[in-house]
């Protein structure tokens, strides 16, 4: 039974969660993305599905914090993504947010969309679906513009949502909208203005999202579970840990045996393990401006496996029982590699 069948079956059965019955339509997309499911409600995550490749692998790149019209080495990172993407035969790209600087998009007609996305990621290998979450800088503009099907009509690769599920072969990705968790954006926004359209009332939005995340993870048949958000849970980077996520989201990730949490926000490349679980925290936020020169000490320094303060991206190949990770810099140098294995037939 595949994951979607499993999910549908669970939805129609007397389930551990009655909300499943109102979960809405699962949008199944085979091969190239044929349609887009974009909802502004966090309570019902839209779902996408991509097939695994013939060899059983799922191959993708992760980049974050990038949209600067090609400046600050964005174009150079894009060029190397194109080369690595071609070598791997990637199926899609994940963006960890802060898609457009400094203040998101002004609307669906903002030329920054073309200047920072369409005209930058031009390599044939990157002509694949992009799955994008929103970052705090995106919320400083017209956040809903990035969710609009108008942008997908302009560039068919574009898929942006607040939260969503992507099932790809042996991997379930759950994308979560982390910006509304951060108190300071509401209480001390300073000179910045945030577009909270579709988010208020805030606590209802957050609690619904966390319930949906928990249910989705419980419904996932794995074997791999990856949660993607913009803000870090663990980091040595400039912004520090996001305490709101540590308090409210991390327990859900742990209890549901999530394998990896992937984020941006800090403009670096980073891998942090957990001494008390298998959960690893990966930062891929080096899509353009970097070199902040800040490395904060971790509470548990032995958990730090890799930190690079500069630009670059993450490349991932996942099979049913093995996942391989590769961090690349702006020159295409392979900075850090590691594998994670699972024991066959045991979904831990
Ligand atoms: Zn950010």
Mean pLDDT of 104-126: 98
CA of 221 to the centre of ligand 1 (A): 31
Q: Is the CB of residue 133 less than 8 Å from the CB of residue 20? A: no
Q: Has residue 11 been placed in a domain?
A: no
What does the pLDDT look like over 49-87, one tens digit per residue? 988 788 889 999 999 999 999 999 999 999 999 999 999
Q: What band does 322 get if pLDDT is binned at 50, 70 and 90?
A: very high
Q: Has residue 19 been placed in a domain?
A: no
| Number of domains present in the structure of the chain | 1
Q: Is the CB of residue 175 less than 8 Å from the CB of residue 142? A: no
Say how many C-beta atoms besides its own lie within 10 A of residue 98's C-beta: 30
The per-residue pLDDT for 222 is: 77
Q: What band does 22 get if pLDDT is binned at 50, 70 and 90?
A: very low
% of the chain at pLDDT higher than 90: 82
Say how many C-beta atoms besides its own lie within 10 A of residue 269's C-beta: 28
Q: Has residue 168 been placed in a domain?
A: yes
CA of 193 to the centre of ligand 1 (A): 14
**Of residues 137, 230, 231, 239, which has the active-site annotation?**
239
What does the pLDDT look like over 242-274, one tens digit per residue? 999 999 999 999 999 999 999 999 999 999 999
Alpha helices, H only, 90-240:
112-113, 143-147, 149-154, 183-187, 202-219
CA of 285 to the centre of ligand 1 (A): 9
Q: Which of 311, 300, 297, 268 is nearest to 71 (CA)?
A: 311
The per-residue pLDDT for 43 is: 56
Domain hosting 332: range is 27-341
In 150-185, which positions are buried (b, 16+ CB within 10 angstroms) versus exposed (e)?
A: ebbebeebbbbbbbbbbbbbbbbbbbbbbbbbbeeb
Q: What band does 294 get if pLDDT is binned at 50, 70 and 90?
A: confident
Q: What band does 23 get if pLDDT is binned at 50, 70 and 90?
A: very low
Q: Has residue 133 been placed in a domain?
A: yes
Say how many C-beta atoms besides its own lie within 10 A of residue 93's C-beta: 22
Q: Residue 346 pLDDT more than 90?
A: no
What does the pLDDT look like over 148-202, one tens digit per residue? 999 999 999 999 999 999 999 999 999 999 999 999 999 999 999 999 999 999 9
Q: Has residue 12 been placed in a domain?
A: no
The per-residue pLDDT for 269 is: 98
Q: Which two tokens stand for residue 29?
A: 């997309």
CA of 243 to the centre of ligand 1 (A): 15
Q: Has residue 6 been placed in a domain?
A: no
Q: Has residue 232 been placed in a domain?
A: yes
The per-residue pLDDT for 345 is: 58
CA of 268 to the centre of ligand 1 (A): 12
CA of 91 to the centre of ligand 1 (A): 25
Beta strand segments in 38-91, E:
47-50, 58-63
The pLDDT mean for the chain works out to 88
CA of 96 to the centre of ligand 1 (A): 9
Q: What band does 97 get if pLDDT is binned at 50, 70 and 90?
A: very high
CATH code of the domain covering residue 203:
3.60.21.10
CA of 84 to the centre of ligand 1 (A): 25
> Which comes out higher in pLDDT, residue 172 or 20?
172
Is 239 an annotated catalytic residue? yes
Q: Has residue 7 been placed in a domain?
A: no
CA of 238 to the centre of ligand 1 (A): 11
């Amino acid at each position: 039974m595949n994951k979607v069948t499993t999910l549908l079956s669970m939805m129609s059965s007397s389930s551990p969660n009655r909300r499943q019955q109102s979960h809405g339509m699962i949008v199944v997309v085979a091969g190239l993305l044929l349609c887009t499911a974009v909802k502004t409600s966090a309570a019902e995550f839209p779902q996408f599905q991509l097939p695994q490749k013939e060899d059983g692998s799922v191959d993708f790149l992760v980049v974050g914090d990038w949209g600067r019209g090609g400046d600050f080495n964005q174009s150079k990172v894009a060029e190397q993504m194109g080369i690595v993407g071609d070598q791997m035969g990637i199926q899609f790209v994940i963006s960890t947010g802060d898609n457009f600087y400094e203040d998101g998009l002004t609307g669906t007609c903002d030329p920054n969309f073309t200047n920072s996305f369409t005209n930058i990621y031009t390599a044939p290998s990157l002509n694949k679906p992009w799955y994008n979450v929103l970052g705090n800088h995106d919320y400083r503009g017209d956040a809903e513009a990035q969710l609009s099907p108008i942008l997908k009509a302009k560039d068919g690769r574009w898929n942006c949502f607040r939260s969503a599920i992507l099932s790809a072969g042996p991997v379930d990705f759950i994308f979560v909208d982390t910006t509304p968790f951060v108190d300071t954006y509401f209480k001390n926004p300073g000179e910045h203005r945030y577009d909270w359209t579709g988010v208020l009332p805030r606590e209802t939005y957050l609690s619904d999202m966390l319930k949906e995340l928990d249910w989705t993870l419980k419904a996932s048949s794995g074997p791999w579970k990856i949660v993607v958000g913009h803000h870090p849970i663990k980091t040595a980077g400039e912004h520090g840990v996001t305490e709101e996520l540590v308090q409210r989201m991390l327990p859900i990730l742990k209890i549901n045996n999530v394998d990896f949490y992937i984020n941006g926000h800090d403009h670096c490349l980073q891998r942090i393990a957990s001494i008390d679980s298998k959960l690893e925290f990966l930062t891929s936020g080096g899509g353009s401006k970097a070199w902040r020169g800040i490395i904060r000490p971790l509470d548990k320094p032995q958990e730090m496996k890799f930190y690079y303060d500069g630009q670059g991206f993450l490349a991932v190949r996942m099979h049913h029982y093995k996942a391989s990770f590769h961090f690349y810099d702006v020159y295409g140098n392979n900075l850090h590699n590691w594998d994670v294995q699972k024991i066959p037939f045991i979904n831990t």
